[in-house]
Structures are given as C-alpha cells and as structure tokens.
Amino acid sequence: MYRALRVYLTVEASEPVTVFTGQLSKTLVYALVKNLRIFRGVRGMVSPLHISPLFKPGKGDFEVGEVVTPLVARKEGKREVQPVRLSGEEYILHLGGDAALVGVAEKALADLRNPLTVKIGDNLVTYKLERLSDVTSSLSEKDVTSDRVTVYLKGPVKPFNVLSPSRLPKFSPSAYELLFVAYMLEKSTYTVSTELVLQAMRTLGLLVETWYSLTTLRPVLVPFRGIEPALLGKVTYILDTGETKYIDEIKRTLQIAEIAGVGESRQNGFGTITWAPK
C-alpha cells in the first residue's frame, strides 16, 4: 500500500543555494527520521520512498507547482551553477511511497512545532512546517480515459534502463525506461529480476512515445554529487488500446508513479511526476 503526502513549509537559507533542493528536502526528512537512511543506495534495489525537491505551490490541493532548484548552465564555455534564493516563502515537498514509512515521516513532521535549522555545507537552512496534506486519494482516482497519456516531469528525472550498461542520458525515454521503477512497486517488489523486466517490457511497451515529445522535453544539469544529467518537461505516450487486459495494470503503474516517483535516485529528490490522459 502506498501513500502520498504534501508537506507545506517555509524555507529560508542564509546564503544562495547552490545544491539540488532535493538534498535540502532529504536532509530535513533524515534529520527527523534517522532510520530512513538505511534505504538509500542499495545496489540492485529500489527505495520504497520518494522525497521530492522543493516546489512553488501550484493550483489545487494535489498540484505540486513549479520546481525550485539550482541548475548548471554553460557560460563563456564553462559550466556554472545558477543559485536560487530561499527567503522564507512557502514551498511544497512531496513525500510518497510505502504507506508505513510515509506514516513514520508524517508523525515526525507533525511533531515539528518549532522551526528547525540545519547546516548544509556553509549554508544554514531553516524549515518551518505550515501544514500536511494527504493526497493519496486524489492521485489514486486518476484513470486512463483515452489512447494518449502525458507524463509531466515536474522535477528533474533520471530515466532508468536496467538492461543498458550506458550511463549516458536518454533524451526521449520510453515508458519502460521512465516507469519501470513504478511498475516494480506496483508488483510490490524492490529487487530487479529477469522475469520482472520481461513482464514490464511486455506491459509498458504498449505505451509508445510520440515523436514530438522531443520538443517538449529538455535536458538539464543538476548540481548533485558533482553534476547529474536529468530531464524536465513532458512526454506523451500513445496507448495500444487493443490489449485491454493490460490497461488496468498500466493505470495502476501511472498512479504509483505519481505517488512514489520514477527513475533513479527517487529518495535523493529526483523523479517527481504528474500525469493525465490527453
């Protein structure tokens, strides 16, 4: 069982922020629930938890809004981090995944009655909780009502292809590369197997990326453990509706993807998406 929680909080940093704000979100959650550290960085396994970067609030109770994070740009032939300022405004942090773990984090956050200041590098970051909102029901009610589905990469996403040895970034991800982790979670498993890969390719292969998705996606460089390539934007898939027996499975995978994130490094802030039938 999976849950999705939106954490509304004000965040203020003493200096311009030059690191991925997923790191700021993760630092807060880890500071409150230290046991969650055991789920990070286990090779061959996916995390049961997704922690997003910071977002400016959007419209509606279940819209995460616009991502707020530094990115790396090329200036005069050199790569340069474009910092962001966090000046005590309200932001949203999305927390989703295993219901029990989200519940533990929710309790710790609810007990945060006073502002918490944490040192991250040379920066002092102060968090103040405003409110918590459980959006599980809203995200779980979405349905596949047409033969096209658009996935919005709200935060930086690192597509994941377990079959490829290349670490080069992919600029037009297939549904398999984008949604494989969510498919694993839909099957209630955290470890990769050959059988699972074949099942995922059979099911997610019914979603075919459109050619014009190349024009609606953009590669970005994220200042995280050096520089990490990722994607922002949106990708539209055409659904082969002739294979109706797989549609419910695809719908559940999309629902879990929005709740628990997609791709690699979901617990480090990557992989926040929304989706809608087109």
List 66's β-bridge partners, or say none: 56
Point out the domain boundary residue: 110, 138, 166.
138
pLDDT computed for residue 42 by the predictor:
61
Closest CA relative to residue 50, chosen from 152, 185, 151: 185
Question: What would the pLDDT profile of 212-271 be if each residue is shown by its tens digit?
Answer: 888 999 999 999 999 999 999 999 999 987 777 899 999 999 999 999 999 999 999 999
Same domain, 129 and 167: no
3-state SS, one letter per residue, for the chain: CEEEEEEEEEEEECCCECCCHHHHHHHHHHHHCHHHHHHCCCCCECCCEEEEEEEECCCCCCCCCEEECCEEEEECCEEEEECECCEEEEEEEEEEEEHHHHHHHHHHHHCCCCCEEEEECCEEEEEEEEEEEECHHHHHCCCCCCCEEEEEEEEEECCCCCCCCCCCCCCCCCHHHHHHHHHHHHCCCCECCHHHHHHHHHHHCCEEECHHHHHCEEEEEECCCCCEEEEEEEEEEEECCCCHHHHHHHHHHHHHHHHHCCCCCHHHCCCCEEEEEC
Mean of the per-residue pLDDT values of the chain: 91
Same domain, 27 and 108: yes
CB-CB contact of 260 with 33 (8 Å): no
Point out the domain boundary residue: 138, 161, 185.
138
pLDDT computed for residue 169 by the predictor:
65
Same domain, 121 and 172: no
pLDDT computed for residue 44 by the predictor:
65
Sequence-ordered list of residues with C-beta below 8 angstroms from that of 68, at least 6 positions apart, any chain: 21, 53, 54, 55, 56, 84, 86, 91
Mean local confidence (pLDDT), 1-14:
96
Question: What would the pLDDT profile of 163-195 be if each residue is shown by its tens digit?
Answer: 776 666 666 789 999 999 999 999 999 888 899
Same domain, 167 and 127: no
Question: What would the pLDDT profile of 115-169 be if each residue is shown by its tens digit?
Answer: 999 999 899 999 999 999 999 999 999 998 889 999 999 999 999 888 776 666 6
pLDDT computed for residue 61 by the predictor:
52
pTM: 0.93
Q: Which domain holds residue 26?
A: 2-138
Whether residue 53 has pLDDT greater than 60: yes
Instruction: Tell me how many domains the chain contains.
Output: 2
Same domain, 107 and 6: yes
Joined together, the tokens standing for residue 223 give 């200042």
Same domain, 37 and 130: yes
Percent of the residues in the chain that have a pLDDT greater than 90, as a whole number: 74
Same domain, 117 and 244: no
pLDDT computed for residue 145 by the predictor:
86
